[in-house]
Amino acid sequence: APVRYEAERAPATCDGAIESEHAGYSGTGFCNGRNAVGAAARFTVDAPQAGTATLSVRFANGTAAARPADITVNGSAVASASFETTGVWDGWTTKTLTVPVRQGGNTVRLSPTGTGGLPNIDHLDAEVAGDGTTPPP
Ligand code: GCU
Ligand code: CA
């Protein structure tokens, strides 16, 4: 089963403010990143073994334009995401990404490449599948 990591709860960090003014989020709020290139949201994803993580990022983008971002894991760029408009700020949806992870804690960073910054980020659900190099416990 996937493990949920809330954007508003440590060890996650948000280059902006934790807010709750737009309904429909999980937990106690969401990350409203600063509207700037590189204003990131970071999560620590725990992997029981090295392999591939399927990440579902829940977000809302109430503007008309996409808010693209680079996705890094432990400092390496591994994916990108478009975070297209969701119409309104309380219109949440999920974007699924597949990324490599090592055993243990992995820093997953969503780093916006446009001046609008990130969309509002609610949480990340992570499901890790092993690559077979580490036997399961
Ligand atoms: C509005 C909205 C915020 C959002 C921001 C943005 O201010 O209320 O939740 O983060 O727009 O454009 O990023
Ligand atoms: Ca914002």
ipTM of this complex prediction, to 2 decimal places: 0.98
Instruction: Verify whether ligand 1 is closer than 6 Å to residue 43 (CB atom).
Output: no
Q: For the chain, what is the domain count? A: 1
Is residue 41 included in any domain, yes or no? yes
Is residue 135 included in any domain, yes or no? no
Atom of ligand 1 minimally distant from the CA of 16: 10
Write the pLDDT tens digit of every residue in 49-98.
Answer: 999 999 999 999 999 999 999 999 999 999 999 999 999 999 999 999 99
CATH (domain of 66): 2.60.120.260
Is residue 120 included in any domain, yes or no? yes
- Tell me how far apart the alpha carbons of residues 127 and 8 are, in angstroms, rounded to a whole number: 20
- The pLDDT confidence band at residue 1, using thresholds 50, 70 and 90, is confident
Q: State the residue range of the domain holding 63.
A: 3-130
* DSSP one-letter string for 68-114: -EEEEETTEEEEEE-----SSTT--EEEEEEEEE-SEEEEEEEEE-S
Write the pLDDT tens digit of every residue in 125-135.
Answer: 999 997 666 66
Tell me, in angstroms, the distance from the centre of ligand 2 to residue 128's CA: 29
